[in-house]
Amino acid sequence: MVGIKRLGLTGHPSGINSALDRIANVVIINVLVNQVSSEEKEIQLTKQGEEAERHIAKLLKPLVGRGGQLFSRLDENKLRIKDDAGLDILLNLSGIRFAISVKSKRYEKVKVFYDPKYDQIRYSCKEYRKDWFPKDIIDEINDQINWLLTNRPKLFSKKKQPKKPWLIVVVCGVPSKPVKQPPRVAVFPNSPKEIINGTEYLKHRGVFVVDEESLISLVQALRTQPNEEYVPSQK
């Protein structure tokens, strides 16, 4: 601990010195406690995210038939990319590919929605009226898939010009901490959307955003609509 005398404040009466020493020590202890709490929270959030990734991958695994592939944390074959980051899930169903980002929330009454004021996907819950995801979830998955398409194109096609996979962000709860009302994605009249087989899905800048309940139906619907967007060839 750094005492007041070491700071050069030796001219104060001893009683004041002692009081200042105690105050300084309390401040330092509080800083250390907050630092530990922050680190513990980060570890907890990481474990929560990993649990959610495995949960979603487990839901998708029955869809993988002969010739299909599932890259995920479930079988410890998650795709690693730059900066030690990784795409949560890459699903290949007979040549139709899905890049899936998993976002978990453990709060009650989580509602994910498009905010036209900021042109971003946000969420609200019982604890917070409106809040932001730590990163723009649309930019994040686009950056990840663009890196993979450039550096590992054979994951997406054996052709010179690989097809871009369908991009999906799924928002779910935490299985080990169930809530009465799991996260839901809201599609409002002014929301960017795509209608498939009569169902509205939130879709912003080429990325579908769905809750866990709607994920399988969206994947099944998109299987009949292969993404025809090709990646420009690299010269």
Kindly state whether residue 178 falls inside one of the protein's structural domains: yes
Residues 6+ apart with CB under 8 A from 90: 69, 70, 71, 72, 79, 97, 98, 99, 100, 148, 155, 165
Q: Domain range holding 141?
A: 48-222
Pairing verdict, β 120-124 and 89-93: unpaired
Query: How many structural domains does the chain have?
Result: 1
Percent of the chain at pLDDT above 70? Answer: 77
Decide if 145 is inside a domain: yes
The answer to the question of residue 103 being in a domain is yes
The verdict on residue 39 lying in a domain is no
Within a domain: residue 113? yes
CA 218 to chain centre: 19
Going by pLDDT thresholds of 50, 70 and 90, the confidence category of residue 154 is confident
Residues 67/209/119/143 CA torsion (nearest 10 deg) = -30
Cβ-proximal residues to 123 (8 Å cutoff; 6+ apart), any chain: 105, 110, 111, 112, 113, 130, 131, 133, 171, 183
Q: Average pLDDT in the 149-159 region?
A: 82
Provide the β-strand partners of residue 207: 167, 204
Would you say residue 5 lies in a domain?
A: no
Query: 126-135: per-residue pLDDT in tens?
Result: 877 889 998 9
Q: Is residue 61 part of a domain?
A: yes
Give, in degrees to the nearest 5, the angle at Cα 94 between 90 and 100.
20
Q: Which one, of 170, 168, 172, 233, lies nearest residue 206 by Cα?
A: 168
Nearest Cα residue to 105 out of 168, 171, 176: 171
Q: Residue 105: inside a domain, yes or no?
A: yes
Q: What is the DSSP letter of 125?
A: -
Report the pLDDT value the prediction gives residue 76, as an integer from 0 to 100.
74
Helix ranges restricted to H, the chain = 14-60, 137-151, 212-222
Q: Tens digit of pLDDT for each residue in 9-39?
A: 455 556 566 666 667 666 666 554 455 567 7
